[in-house]
Structures are given as C-alpha cells and as structure tokens.
Structure 1
Amino acid sequence: MGTRRALMSILLVTALLLSWTSSEVKADVKNETGYQEAYRPQYHFSPPKNWMNDPNGLVYYKGEYHLFYQYNPYGNQWGHMSWGHAVSKDLIRWRHLPVALKEDDLGMIFSGSVVVDKHDTSGFFGGKSGLVAIYTSAGESQQQSIAYSKDDGRTWHKYKGNPVIPNPGLKDFRDPKVFWDDQTGKWVMVLAAGDRVMFYSSTNLRNWSYMSQFGADQGAHGGVWECPELFQLPVEGHPGEKKWVLQVDINPGGIAGGSGGQYFVGEFDGKKFTTQQKGIKWVDFGKDFYATQTWSNTPGRLIWVAWMNNWQYAQDIPTSPWRGAMSFPRELSLKKVNGEYVLVQKPVQEINKLREDTRVWNNRIITPGTELLPVRGETLEIEAEFQLDTADEFGLIVRKGTKEKTIIGYNVGNQTLFVDRTQSGRTDFSKDFPVVTKAQMKPKNRVIQLHILVDRSSVEVFGNHGETVLTNQIFPDLKSQGLELYARGGNVKLQTLRIHRLKSAWQ
C-alpha cells in the first residue's frame, strides 16, 4: 500500500507540474487543425486534439450553452482526466475555451454536473447568482467535490473543504448529477455506486445527506452503472400527467455489446425513486451512445447529448489528432405507446441552420434491387416515410463507395430496424466494430418513418419520430458519398423523401 501511495504521489506531482507549465491564458483555444481530417465530424462536436469522453457540466447560462467534457490535455489516450470546455449560442457552432478543471492532489477530475445557484444557496457569490460544478475527485478513492465560477464559467475555484462527500468504502462511487427540487426546496444529487444509484440532498451544495438508493433488483446488471440522470417530463397527450425518468449507463452489458444506456420511468417523492416498470428500456440500440447528460437551466426544453463511442474500442478508433466526438444534441419528450411510457429523442430544431440544399421526392414505388439517388454527400440529413407493400426488407444505403456501404434497413417479418456497418469502411481496429445493430420497431398504420443524420464518421437513425434510436460510428473513405434506396423480396412505397445537405458547423 505504501508503494502504491508513493507512486500515486509521484504521478500527481508530475501532472501538477505539467498543468502549471501549460498555458493559463483565458482566451479562446486556437483551432489549428482546420477540422478537415478524414474522419473529422463536420457538425458533431469534437475537440481540436487529444482524448475526449463523457459530456460533463452541461448548463445554459446567460445565453450560452456550456459543454464541459472529460479531456486529456496531454494526449489522445485516456488519462489525466480534466474538464475541457466549449460554449455555443445555438448548440451548433462551438467556441473552444481553455481547460476548466485540472487534476489536483485529490486526483483526476471525473464526470459531474454544473448548476446555476440562482439564490446563492452556497454562499459563494455574495448574494448574486453563479455556477457551481459538482464532480468526482478520483485518486486513491472516488469522492465528490465542488468548484464555483463567478465569471460565467471562464475561471473556476475549487472549494477548500473538498471533498464534500467522502467515499463510504465503495470501489465505484462517481458521476454526480445535481438538480434543484422544487417540491422539497433542496438540491438533489443522483450518484452512481457500483451497480445501483444513490440519492443525496443538500441545502447549500456543501453539506450533503444520504437519502436512498435504487437499482438493486431493477434493470440490467451486466456491468458497472455510470453517469445517472433524473428528470421530470410531461406525458404527451395526457394533460397534467408528469413522470420522472431515471437514466443510467452501464458498461459492459449494453444492448449492443459493451457500453449502453437504460432508463426507468416512475415517481420521485423527493427522497426515493420508485418504478412499476417491467423489463429493460434501452436509451439507444446502437453501439455508440454513452454517458448521456441533459443541459440544466433550459426552461421549456430538455436537451441531452452523449459521448459517441464505446469502451470496447474507444482508444482504438482511427482518428487523429483527436479521439472522441459527441452525438448531435437531442430534445427529449415522453409518450405512451401501447400502454408503455417511451422516451422520445429528436435532433434539436437548430439543425435547420445547417441546411443549404433540399431535394424532395414523393409517391415512388421502389422495386427489388437498388436505386441510385442523384445526391451525394458526407454530411446529410434524411427524412423518409415508407409504406409497407410486398417487400421483405427495404431502406437506404449511405456513404456508398466502390467497396464500402452502410445499410439502414427495416426487416418487415421481424419488425426490426437495423444498421449494418460491417462494410462501412475501416473496421479492422476491433473485432467488436463490424456489427449489425438492431431494434424492434412496429409500423404505424403500415408506415415506417426514418430521420437519419449522416456525418463523416457517424450515422444516427431516429425511427418512428424518435421512439427508436440507433447511433453508430463509421469510418468510410472520403470518396464514399453515394446514396441509394433499396428493396428486397418485393416492392415498397416511398411516400416522402427529403434530403438536406448540411454545411460544416466549423467553417
């Protein structure tokens, strides 16, 4: 144990020296890459260089969306976790800022959240409002700490009384998500603790009391639970009805293998969460949607984003000088489908700002085989409605090249929406990458609706207006930009097809 402590001390001192010698200027981070590398996302967020994973501290404050994220300032592999930082006025165009929180003598800065302390409950702001970050300090053990900013998130001061929640003797004890609970007049924290979550409360963000836990006999338990989230949503079409949604990620043990996310719908009484839900509800059926977090302080909207990657191969994806990207931001709602509560996700409407050309087709019969469309592109938004006919399978082929293609299809007999990336481009870096991901999805009045976002290295598929979602990375050649419709075993009617070219958010 003494040797381990000595080694950790040396590593921490080395990290601190590196951080002290790095630039401390508060100007924007210069973008030196041009954002034109082969697999560089053109409208999904990625850092200019180095490693990135979980979104952290998402908050809307004084007209800015803040995106903090797990970041290694020194390389493109996981390690030296700090909080990177970017801001946006519209969730589309991001401005990079210097690292916000760096590792210290309590350890690396793991995931966490940021809240607007509107009434200065913390006492940090002299009666005014400000931002408070609640995060995990990961050293010899995982503990919860706080920091505060008086200048709109540009500079941060770590609380001298950290940690505010010492580790109770658990190996995995991390990822605090905090919100203000109107019904109790307290701050509530949901925290990942092994294969369950714990709830704490506070009146001042400094002193926390344990309340309850959830998950011992609920949900999937194939791995460690991480990055929990608790929020309330109205139920569409049911005036006055609201439900609480508890989202929690799991690694390994996700529905598509490796990392994944599940959610529970139920009630929260200010102390404990309960659910009558049977079975497991998955957030996303693709391989690459993990560590989701909502932006706090967005009245009238609930928006989240996720790390678009999977721990099975996250450190091996063929990107440089950066590694890691975020999903496109999604607006959330809740509806009842066949008596079950379903979380609905749709791309935020701000995507309209990126549309620069739109083509529309209506009422066409797609016969067996493939039909090349007169549209090519590496950054596309596709909206399609298919009416079932005699086809056994149908869909679209995107990022088509001489030897590459990604298939987004629907199997009528199995009522399954799927994404096949086995021939999508570079797949040789991991045996877990070339797969077909799929999800059960029933037609609505014999119609299948698809909303698809295609970028240089990703495909996000929203089925039946966001009730079923699949998110997957792909790494095709830049020249693979073909787009096709296809049908097998019979005909399908294409009721409507809209294709929008999307311009880069970085230019």
Structure 2
Amino acid sequence: MSEKLEKARTYEAKEEQKIAEELRPLFHLTPRCGWMNDPNGFSIYKGKYHLFYQYYPYETVWGPMHWGHAESEDLITWKYLPCAIAPDEEYDGAGCFSGSAIEMEDGKQLLVYTGVRKEEDEDGHIREIQTQCVAVGDGINYEKYGNNPVIEADALPEGAGRFDFRDPKVWKENGKYYIVVGNKTEDKDGQILQFESEDGIKWTFDKVVIKNNHRFGVMWECPDYFPLDGKQLLLTSPQDMLPEELEFHNGNGTLCVIGSLNENGDFCEENCQAIDYGIDYYAPQTILTADGRRVMIGWMQNWDTCGIRRDDFPWFGQMSIPREISLHNNKLIQKPVREIENYYGKRISRQNVLISDSASLSSIEGRCIDMTVNVRSKDADLSYKKFEIRFADNGKAYSTIEYDPEQNIVKIDRKHSGSRRAIVHQRRCRVEGNKGEITLRLILDRYSMELFINGGEQVMSMGIYTDIKAEGISFKAVGELLMDVTMYELEKKN
C-alpha cells in the first residue's frame, strides 16, 4: 500500500468517528468525510452492491481525486469501506478521475479509471494529460497494473483530443470487455469512443459510438451505454450546455440518447431528452441487478451550485436515491428502487380532500418521507390555476413545488430554504397535459428532495440544507381542487 493511500485510510477512519449521525442524510450516501462528486464503479461484486465515488477526504472542496468506497446489500443502507485508490503514481498523480468496475472471471474486481498527470508544453502552459488505467482487487484492496496507462493518446482516432479523454464505463459482452469513454475533439466538440479488450487489461480502439455535432454542450462526461427494453441507451453529462425550452438548462446537464443498433452494431439515434429536470443531478451510472432491473444512481449536486453548502458540515456531496429505469413510448421512466419500501414506517393517508386556499393536514409532516400526492380538478372544467406543496417549513425557511395546470409546468424552488447565495434556486419542466390532474411523488431526506412526476415520466432533484427541525408540510390552491395524499415515514432499520 502506498503512503498516500495509507494516509487517506487512516484519516477517513478517524474523521468518520467525529461526524454525528444527524449531520448526515438518513439514506442518501455521503462521503465518509470531506468531498464527494461523481459515482464510480457502481457494480455488483460477490453478491453485494459496490459504489465508489470521486473523493477528497481532507477538505469539503474538490482536491486531488481519490476513490471512496462503500457497499450495500439493498441499495439503501451503505457501509463504508476503506479508500480504494489514491493519486500515488506518476501517471495519476494529479488525480484518479471517474471510471467503473466489473467482476472478472477469476473472481477479482477490475477498476477502470482515468489517470491524470500534468505536463508543461513548449509555451509554458500546464495541461492535464488524461489516460485510462486499471487496478485489480478483492473488494477492499486494489493493485494498480504495472504497465498503466492501458490507453494513451496514441490509441485515439484522428481528430480526438488528448486532454479531455475520461470516465471509462466497462461491461462484458460475448466474452469480450468493452468500455465507452468521453472525449472532446480537437475542434472542441463532444464524442463517445468505444474500446475493446480480451482480458480487460490490453485495449484497442473499436469505434466512435456517437458525435455531439455541436448540439448539446461541449465535452461529454461520464458516459454509460447499455440495452434497455429493446432499445440501446447512451447516458452522458454534457458540460457548458445552452438552454432549449424547458428540456435542457444552462451549464452542466444530463442527456439520455435513446436509439437502436443497426446490422453493423452502430448506434442510431431516435430520441434525446434530459435525465433529471431539477437543479442537482449529474454523472449518473447504472447497473443491471441480479433480478434484471436496470438501476441508476447520480451525484445529487451541480457544479454550478457548489457554493450552496453548510459551513458546519464535515462532508460535501451526496448521491441520489437509486432509481429503476425503463422505457415507455421511447421515453425514459424513473422510479425509486423498490427496496425503499422496506424502510417504510408509519403510513398516513387522506382521500378526496378539498383544497381551496392553504391547508395543513394532521400528521402530514416530516423530513424523511415518501409521499405521493394526486390532485385533480373539482369540476369537469379546470377549477384551479395553481397548486403548491410547501415542505421543510419552520415558518421562516421552506421550499416549494408548484404546478400550473394551464401551462402544464412544474416548478421547484428553494430560494427560501436558508441559502445566502445567489445561485440556482429554481427549475421548471413541462409535463404532459392531463386536464389538471397530476401525480407527484416526493422523496424527502434530511438534505434533499427528489420529485417523481406522473409515475416517473420526469424527475426533479435538488439539495436543501434547511435545519432538520423544519418539518412542516402544507398544501395550497388558487381555486379549488381535490387531493389524495399517502405518506410513509422513512426509518432506518437495525
């Protein structure tokens, strides 16, 4: 074990003990200490779920990237494992960037990641050189391959850039290993490259999977590529996006490209959409569970909102709740993993409640809940103009979900949640017109909100850092509507 890795493991084990349980979410994974960003190596190894993550243990800001590590038996409760890899070699001394993991035939776990080193050019400019590297281990300890990097600039196709070449996602198919890697071309456009290998160690270039053609942002990060419900999906996170209506927003976003493979195995696009329409979601990665579900997890943060933080927190960054994904009418459907139901506590239900101004319902409150609300017009004609859910409310701080049935727009808003920063606090998305009827499922943890609209047709996520004693929930209508609400309190299981 290198000195850097041993230092990180000693430090995180000590610092973890200082973090009070109530300072963490109940069931969203946070870093063991310090900083977290992208999920890495989301995989199944020896029957357990493993999740690695971009990690800087020493401060709650981005630093030289390590790989944090946790495991779970049910995707909800996570157990920390020791830091997996540290930037301790010449080829990755500036950071062990994002990547993925897979169980090999010999029972070992293979990690594929981007190693970063800095190089000074002839003009004195410092550039980051990004290459692909591997490490092999037993689920706790990993040894980097002696001949890393395994993919360098000389393996890139014509026009591919050598400075932005990162985030390999690995899978095995027909006895071969494959990875897709994000790349920025020399003319500053995103593309996804595919490489193949017989053993997971020695790789050769296979094909360009897809080119951005200057449509969605610039660099395409953190790709994932897999079959789903008879189609082929590519997930990626474009940087520096321009807005398009209410589908895509400025900055760093998420993109799902739905398509199919032709007779030559080439990817043919059919539909493009956002993955998450909220404020905080990036770099999702998926696994295929033993029972055949495709499950996705993402970093519930946005690079442009990292200024929203609690100074008293010894961690920064959290993962989303894992989501089961499927396709319906060639569009992405997302639902919280069904394992969340094993954490249900008290159930409270109210049916056919008439809302005609502002209303609080007895026992409908809390900061760790799974609540489904269905609202509909009281009459055949539209009987209301706006519906609002206010939550994490203590009379001064609160956050809201609003639905405009005339415009068919849902808005999330955290500007009153306690933040002192003028950063992104609102997002809107357009939903299917349902004559004033909508179903909103709200997963609320201590420091986050994830909203699943109309059975998961769209999802909106955001972090909130309001004091956890703010538990009030209320409903408001402009006009009159009928509402059903079912709420489960969420509890940790011993």
Both structures adopt the same fold (TM-score exceeding 0.5):
yes
Higher relative contact order (CA 8 A, sep 6+): 1
The correspondence of residues 457-472 of structure 1 with structure 2, limited to 5 A, is: 457-472=447-462
Match of 1:347 in 2: 336
Residues 1:368 and 1:218: Cα distance change in structure 2 (over 3 Å): farther
**Residue 420 of structure 1, CA deviation:** 1.5
Match of 1:439 in 2: 429
Structure 1 residue 231 corresponds to structure 2 residue 226:
yes
Q: 1:208 aligns with which of 195, 203, 206?
A: 203
Match of 2:491 in 1: 503
Q: Would you say the 8 A contact 1:110–1:138 is kept in 2?
A: yes
Residues 1:498 and 1:220: Cα distance change in structure 2 (over 3 Å): farther
**Residue 117 of structure 1, CA deviation:** 1.6
Structure 1 residue 322 corresponds to structure 2 residue 315:
yes
Deviations 1:219-239 (A, max 9, x none): 8432321000111111xxxxx
**Residue 373 of structure 1, CA deviation:** 4.5
Structure 1 residue 484 corresponds to structure 2 residue 479:
no
SS in 2 for 1:196: strand
**Residue 370 of structure 1, CA deviation:** 3.9
Match of 1:129 in 2: 107
Q: Would you say the 8 A contact 1:315–1:323 is kept in 2?
A: no
Residues 1:287 and 1:41: Cα distance change in structure 2 (over 3 Å): same
Structure 1 residue 113 corresponds to structure 2 residue 100:
yes
Residues 1:391 and 1:316: Cα distance change in structure 2 (over 3 Å): closer
Structure 1 residue 166 corresponds to structure 2 residue 152:
yes
Q: 2:68 aligns with which of 81, 84, 101?
A: 84
Mapped partners of 1:139, 1:225: distance in 2: 20
Match of 2:239 in 1: 251
Residues 1:23 and 1:84: Cα distance change in structure 2 (over 3 Å): closer
1 or 2, which has the higher strand percentage? 2
Q: 1:402 aligns with which of 395, 402, 417?
A: 395
Mapped partners of 1:97, 1:395: distance in 2: 41
Q: Would you say the 8 A contact 1:111–1:227 is kept in 2?
A: yes
SS in 1 for 2:301: coil
Structure 1 residue 36 corresponds to structure 2 residue 61:
no
Mapped partners of 2:6, 2:322: distance in 1: 34
Amino acid at match of 1:369: S
Mapped partners of 1:450, 1:30: distance in 2: 36
**Residue 191 of structure 1, CA deviation:** 0.6
Q: Would you say the 8 A contact 1:199–1:272 is kept in 2?
A: no
SS in 2 for 1:326: coil
SS in 2 for 1:352: helix
Paired residues, number: 459
Amino acid at match of 2:91: L
Residues 1:268 and 1:203: Cα distance change in structure 2 (over 3 Å): farther
Residues 1:227 and 1:497: Cα distance change in structure 2 (over 3 Å): same
Structure 1 residue 187 corresponds to structure 2 residue 181:
no
Match of 1:301 in 2: 293
Unaligned runs of 5+ in 2: 119-128, 185-189, 243-247
SS in 1 for 2:254: strand
Match of 2:404 in 1: 411
Match of 1:262 in 2: 255
Mapped partners of 2:9, 2:467: distance in 1: 36
Residues 1:91 and 1:166: Cα distance change in structure 2 (over 3 Å): same
**Residue 164 of structure 1, CA deviation:** 0.9
Match of 1:423 in 2: 416
Structure 1 residue 175 corresponds to structure 2 residue 170:
no
Q: 2:30 aligns with which of 40, 46, 49?
A: 46
Residues 1:233 and 1:166: Cα distance change in structure 2 (over 3 Å): same
Mapped partners of 2:301, 2:180: distance in 1: 23
Match of 2:267 in 1: 273
SS in 2 for 1:205: coil
Q: CA RMSD in A?
A: 2.4
Deviations 1:54-88 (A, max 9, x none): 10001112221101000112221111201100111
Residues 1:481 and 1:134: Cα distance change in structure 2 (over 3 Å): same
Q: Normalising by the residue count of structure 1, what TM-score does the alignment of the two structures yield?
A: 0.85
Amino acid at match of 1:264: V
**Residue 448 of structure 1, CA deviation:** 0.7
Deviations 1:173-221 (A, max 9, x none): 0000011123xx4222111002121111222112222222244345843
Mapped partners of 2:386, 2:307: distance in 1: 35
Deviations 1:328-375 (A, max 9, x none): 111111111xxxx11111000111122111100111221133445432
